[in-house]
Amino acid sequence: MPEHTSEQHSAGLSENMREDTRALMRGLDVLSGPFPDFDPDTAPDHPAQLFVAWFMNAVDTKVVEPHAMTLSTVTPDGRPEARVLILKSVDAAGWRFAISKASSKGREIAQNPHVALTFHWREVGRQVRISGVACEESAADGSADFLARSRGSREMALLLRQSQVLEEPQQIDRELEAVRRKLAEDPDLVPPEWTSYVVKADKVEFWQADGGRRHTRVLYTRADETAAWSRCRLWP
């Protein structure tokens, strides 16, 4: 690895490194397309319908991990936090994901259930932004999600250690041994902290890229989950 001077360590990046990075970023291709057509006049009344149509298009066009999304939450002191999760399902009720309530994001949702989801399908120049409230589903829903996960995923979740300070990597292997013994005795073991959430949205925006920056944006909004959705176009 390249050596760094004490000045670089104290200043972060040298001026040359900053300039080189800036030049590299400026030179990268942006919105090169080609992109699919999108006529806002044909958009359905419910945003979940349009989301599923766009999602299926992303799958058909081989977008990498189209079900990956950024979940944004708010800490008790008002700081935004974001991380990438996997969407589990979507229907008229909302968008679903599952996490441990013992995780930092679980604790943040317990304190403030308002969240945002962001999907970026780069290959087709599309983005979907969803804002709403994350509502806990039943324990049975959480259990069903947990048992459908891979063995490795369940083992790590049962450690109940996510986001804690790791003193040494070998500690993971030592603690996994105990978890594996528990799973051998009870293959259907589910931690009570594991929770399925449905995001009941009140705002959903669909963004279709255009190489000339004449992006197409459609915004769905509603007053609450019992109200009908309204739809409008936004300036690029």
The pTM assigned to this predicted structure is 0.88
Rounded Cα gap, residues 76 and 224, in angstroms? 24
pLDDT tens digit sequence for 82-100: 999 999 999 999 999 999 9
Average pLDDT over residues 179-187: 94
CA distances from 89 to 95, 97, 113, 130, 141 (A): 6, 7, 19, 14, 12
What digits encode the pLDDT tens for the residues 142-176?
999 999 999 999 999 998 887 778 888 888 989 89
Residue matched to tokens 């990046």: 13
Q: Identify the domain containing residue 210 by its residue range.
A: 34-149+192-234
For residue 112, is it within any domain?
A: yes
Helix (H) or strand (E) holding 133: strand 126-136
218 lies in some domain: yes
Say if CB 206 and CB 33 are below 8 A apart. no
**Within a domain: 200:** yes
Q: Is 24 a member of any domain?
A: no
pLDDT in tens, 115-142: 999 999 999 999 999 999 999 999 999 9
Domain assignment of residue 26, yes or no: no
pLDDT digits (tens, 9 = 90+) for 194-217: 999 999 999 999 999 998 999 999
Predicted confidence at residue 229, as pLDDT, reads: 98
20-to-98, 149, 169 alpha-carbon distances in Å = 41, 43, 35
Class of residue 119 by CB neighbours under 10 A (exposed 0-12, middle 13-18, buried 19+) = buried
Output the domain CATH number for residue 58.
2.30.110.10
**Number of separate domains in the chain:** 1
Per-residue pLDDT for 34 more than 70?
yes
Domain membership flag for residue 223: yes
The DSSP string of 136-167 is: E--HHHHHHHHHTS-HHHHHHHHTT-TTS--S
Quick check: is 185 in a domain? no
Q: How far is residue 232 from each of residues 44, 92, 204, 223, measured CA to CA in Å?
A: 12, 19, 11, 15
The torsion angles phi and psi of 77, rounded to 5 degrees, stand at -95, 15
Residue 160 lies in a domain: no
Report which DSSP code applies to 89.
E
* 3-class state of residue 14 by DSSP: coil
